[in-house]
Amino acid sequence: MALRDQAISRGALIACIIVFFITTLCGCGNDMVVKGKERTTIGIVNIIVDDSSIMEPKYPDIQYRVIWGNVVWGLVLSETVIAPIYFFGFSMFEPVGEKKI
């Protein structure tokens, strides 16, 4: 019985490590250089400080997309208070290139 319990706990540990590494890969936006200037990830706090609406990001000529990994992490870690402030406030959208007009 002890060997079986050891194998189960070892399997659970390996599964937790695999899940941890997979979840670290989804999230984290990338900065991008567009027109010779570095554009960083932005969030709701960045947008509000610039007196813009959420639908009009910081740079209107840059195309942004939602970082879904950060949205998931913000929801999962919502009880920590600090994690959602970071994920939603400063790292919710990432630049993907110039906006095509």
* Residue among 80, 84, 33 at smallest CA distance from 59: 33
Check residues 1 and 42 and name the one with the higher pLDDT. 42
For residues 88 and 61, give the distance between their C-alpha atoms in angstroms, rounded to a whole number: 22
pLDDT at residue 66 in the model: 87
For helices 68-76 and 82-90, the axis angle rounded to 10 degrees is 160
Region 38-51 average pLDDT: 75
- 41 sits in the region (left: phi over 0; alpha: psi -120 to 50; else beta) called beta
**Residue 10, Cα to own-chain centre: how many angstroms?**
30
At residue 13 the predicted structure's pLDDT band, cuts being 50, 70 and 90, is confident
The number of folded domains in the chain is 1
Q: Which domain covers residue 55, as residue numbers?
A: 2-98
The predicted-structure confidence for 47-69, as pLDDT tens digits, reads as follows: 766 655 555 556 778 888 888 88
More confident residue, 10 or 70: 70
Q: Where are the alpha helices (DSSP H) in 1-101?
A: 2-25, 44-49, 68-76, 82-90
Helices and strands in the chain, H and E counts: 4, 4
